[in-house]
Structures are given as structure tokens and as C-alpha cells.
Structure 1
Amino acid sequence: MINRPCSRVACTRDAVATLTYVYADSMAVIGPLSISHEPHSYDLCAQHSERLSAPQGWQIMRHVVLGEVGSGT
């Protein structure tokens, strides 16, 4: 099991997703927590990954793993 904290300031929850930005395509990509911490990416807890919003004109692409059940919170 990977235990890394959420990247959001003052959040003490464990990260469950990794966020990266593709600036050339104006896209935020969020998917399952990466195996290791990657530079220029952000690890987010379930609450912050679900509430993620993007700047106007940007798209959010969410990758999900089939067969996983959501946190329900």
C-alpha cells in the first residue's frame, strides 16, 4: 500500500489520486495514485480529487480503474 499525504495545504488525509497538467492542451488529468511521486504532479485525497475544478477553457480528464468502488464520501 502506498501512503503519501494529499498535496493540498493543511490536508492530513492520504492521497488516492495523482493530478498532472498538460499545458499545451489546457487539460488537467487525474487518475489513480502513481506508484512513486513524480515531479510536477500533485497527489490528492479523495475529497480534493472529487472537488477538483479547472480554469475556464480547460478540460478535466478523469481516468478510473474499472471494477473499483468509489469511496462513497
Structure 2
Amino acid sequence: MDGRPCSKVACTNDAVSTLTYVYADSMAVLGPLSRQAEPHSYDLCSRHAERLSVPQGWQVVRHVSLGRTEHSAL
């Protein structure tokens, strides 16, 4: 495992997405893996990100990365 682990218990896969809940708006926001781990978010592997379900009445917002830009270090 090279990256951050999936937040799901007993999952040994690397995380590829970050999940954040906005309780006031009954919303779950799933996007590309954040640069740093945050204490109030969950890092998920591709399998768990695809299977994400939320309570009835909640909305899921999925942000996708359309491309990857590499920056070289000076």
C-alpha cells in the first residue's frame, strides 16, 4: 500500500476519493482524493466510492477529475 488507506473497516485498498458530509444540507460530497487527510472526512477506495449510499432524502454530489496535471519541482 503506497497511499492512504480506505477508511472502511478491514479494507486494505488504497483510497482514491474523499467523502465529506454536509449534515445541514443532507448532502454527501464525494470527490478526488484530497491532498491531505482531514479529520472530518473519509478516504475511500474505488470499490467503496462506487457503492456509496446515503439515507433517503439525502443528495450525493460526485465531483470527478477530468484530467491529471503533473507539476515538476524546481
Normalising by structure 1, what TM-score?
Answer: 0.87
**Residue in 1 that maps onto 2:38:** 38
Q: Distance in 2 between matches of 1:67 and 1:7?
A: 25
Identity rate, percent: 75
Aligned residues: 67
- Corresponding residue number in structure 2 for 1:71: none
Q: What value does the CA root-mean-square deviation take over the aligned residues?
A: 1.3
Q: What runs of 5+ residues in structure 1 fail to find an aligned partner?
A: 69-73
Aligned structure 1 segments of 4 or more residues deviating by more than 3 angstroms? none
Normalising to structure 2: TM-score of the pair? 0.86
Larger radius of gyration: 2
